[in-house]
Structure 1
């Protein structure tokens, strides 16, 4: 069975800033670009049961009609215009996968986004575990020109009614927050048959705004920050190959720590900031410790949903900001105080035109006589921030005995050398470090994560943390 949809318009446009950013990452990671696929599982609400496969397919079709990003593919053709064109036809798309080298300054013509009006998405029906089904649907790269950017699976019970709906997104169509909007809307469609409120803006609409005078003004301000900081940061945070890889060079270490979760909550409450800023500051301290630099340049992934009209958009708005922190000679408390305004500057810089960033990177690299790129990323993927100063030292230190560390991933290609991901886990805080082991060997990766836990547990009870203001 397929999910059939028929929207109200079609059109082509240049890529949005968010699409350009993730496309650049995708093409640099191919053929391992399935790395960027991600999914969500929705248990069918009790009030929406029994749900047949046919009815589920109808509701999913309505979801795709509402959110145009879910029926937007790439064209491998040359993008020559700046204005969005909108029509009523079906919107043609290539049937072959866009090659990884296409697009961006290093690979020729940048593809355009193509919105289709009508079509169908294959539906996988399974009795498998929903998490396992999500892994299977995520395991292969999307055909960015020939495949719709959404894969869907239904888990059915013995009576053939649907118990879980699995959505797997191409990162060109949605980021983590956009996926949450899609899941919320899907739940409403299951329960009420409709989603209240106006239709949120689509990538076509965003591409038009980003090329308007207000959009260009935002881009100019962001570009000024990037160029100013690029002229003073270390050209690259991980600048020396220190080992030969054992097998695939890219590995991921995943630490789950309740002690880290409690310690970070306490520090954030005392300091009067977010747990994300605390983790960003501590991560920067340890990056400088590992690399020997006194200034840390890190690229936090920022949601960019501060504009009211874009808050409920299912699209990819997340981009890298530039976080720069002077670490050398400072206590952790002093680093924390400096991290708060540095984080705000980084968040503002994230909503930028990647074309501007490419041009200024080339200019500054030429002026400095070396390539400038941090190759050091931070991505807090949580949606809820909890702070609590009441956690006592004995409880936190005892919880360290429960900490686990696993190695869930290895692959050949990645567009970065050091990527830290933060997630909420059932057993505490999850921190994943994906790194190029030629620059940070596996034993150093494990030591980094253990040191991160130790640093923050010590800071929670033995640093003089003074709130700002």
Structure 2
């Protein structure tokens, strides 16, 4: 049995508020998908690290960042409330790996257990932490958090602030930047917040009333289990996207979003492509340094079928920039808007297609790959089917992992709407169209 150490914390502030828009966005997804959306990381520890060191860092994180000590209060008649605790205790597990075991494998198993253990939103703290001890020395730290407390870009902010704390001799260095979730919710309820949401949703309504309602082929090859997930890795696509980004003066995300739209249009015969692109919202100054979930989807219409790829990239850049400006809104108001548009049109307007690039934004760096280098990387490409399940998921969701030297892509699809063959054709088509444009 693991040893459990209770780590006490006492942070500034406390109180009860509505969910922020970013939290509400995730809560809606959690309800649809029946998951607490755990996010985890396993990190090797420096030689000589102690349990006390890990406990001290955990205490700093909990005290410094209010989202990390936020739980929920569930309500039968509406979305939950967020509850910020001013003080408390969180468990830190210490797990001894057997002498002959691989501590990295033990850490991976512990991470899987923490991911799979049921989560009580009202009673459990949103951070689960464990350390692996092998032959008397700590080797790895395992952390799993509920997605309601942070998003991927917020994780980068947190890591930078923790690194700064270590470099300062483990001393706090001023207030954390960015609005905390309680402050976000209060602003969002203000007159300025309501104006922001209303402005964004006017753009959404115009788009929803103009697009064709159909996104996918339908149940032409429905499977059981219903929801399929695949893993696709392509260094060739990474190199080709760099080449096109440099040539067109844009960024990798715009190139890959263009490739996705072109490949999906080719695979389904349906165009324009309408995709909900997950936007970090951190170009907004009050959210740039926020350690909390602030990402929300934008609604982007991309009519790229039959266009030269560079022209399609330019179009995607313009359309996506406009969409990104309207990705900060009240999700409850959006739900009401979608329901109203569906009633007025007499049919469902399907917008359940998502694209999420988790890599930090920015231009393509380094030397431009040659056509020969791009082609030489093609044999390294891998595609494999992963999970198949009946637990609900979105109709289509493409995620690009934050890996620096390849495009590592996860694609999920509901086979009642999009056949497995189309899912595979989509990611392979992304590679093909981008490589062709680069070479």
Distance 2:305 2:242 in 1: 25
Match of 1:464 in 2: none
Matched with 2:79 is 110
More displaced, 262-271 or 198-207?
A: 198-207
Task: State the Cα RMSD in Å.
Answer: 2.0
* Distance in 1 (alpha carbons) for counterparts of 2:219 and 2:304: 23
Structure 1 regions of 5+ residues with no counterpart?
78-101, 103-107, 462-469
Label 1:189 to 1:2 Cα distance change in 2 as closer, same or farther (>3 A). farther
Q: Once the two structures are superposed, what CA deviation does each residue of 1:106-155 show, in whole Å capped at 9, x if it has no partner?
A: xx421111111222222222344244433332224422112111111212
Contact 2:393 2:414 in 1 (8 A): no
Alignment map for 1:31-430 (pairs within 5 Å): 33-34=35-36, 36-44=37-45, 46=46, 50-77=48-75, 108-126=77-95, 127=97, 128-129=103-104, 130-160=107-137, 162-191=138-167, 192-200=169-177, 201-238=179-216, 240-246=218-224, 248-383=225-360, 385=362, 386-387=364-365, 390-425=368-403, 428-430=406-408
1:154-184 residue CA offsets vs partner (Å, 9 max, x unmatched): 1234233x33322211011111111222233
Separation (CA, whole Å) in 2 of partners of 1:387 and 1:352 = 33
Judged with a 3 Å threshold, the aligned counterparts in structure 2 of structure 1 residues 253 and 427 are, in CA distance, closer, same or farther, namely: farther
Structure 1 Cα separation of the partners of residues 190 and 221 of structure 2: 48
- Give the gaps of 5 or more residues in structure 2: 98-102
> 1:388, CA displacement in angstroms?
5.5
Residue pair 1:323, 1:346 contacting (<8 A) in 2 also: yes
Structure 1 stretch displaced more, 429-438 or 253-262: 429-438
1:439 matches 2:414? no
Q: What CA distance in whole angstroms lies between the structure 2 residues aligned with 1:436 and 1:146?
A: 33
2:220 counterpart SS class: coil
Aligned equivalents of 1:9, 1:390: Cα separation in 2: 50
Alpha-carbon distance, 1:359 to partner: 1.8
The 1:208/1:411 distance shift into structure 2, 3 A limit, reads: same
Alignment pair present for 1:29 and 2:24: no
Q: Retained in 2: the 8 A contact 1:297–1:324? A: yes
C-alpha contact 1:267 1:389 (8 A) present in aligned 2: no
* TM-score (ref. length: structure 2): 0.91
TM-score (ref. length: structure 1) = 0.85
2:71, 2:123 within 8 Å by CA — same for their partners in 1?
yes
Q: How many residues align?
A: 424
- Name the stretch that deviates more: 273-282 or 195-204: 195-204
Shift of 1:76: 1.1
CA distance in 1, matches of 2:239, 2:134: 39
Secondary structure of the equivalent of 1:414?
Answer: coil
Q: Check whether the contact 1:269–1:389 (CA below 8 A) recurs between aligned residues.
A: no
> What is the distance in 1 between the residues matched to 2:214 and 2:27?
22
Tell me, yes or no, if the aligned pair for 2:70 and 2:82 is still in contact at 8 Å.
yes
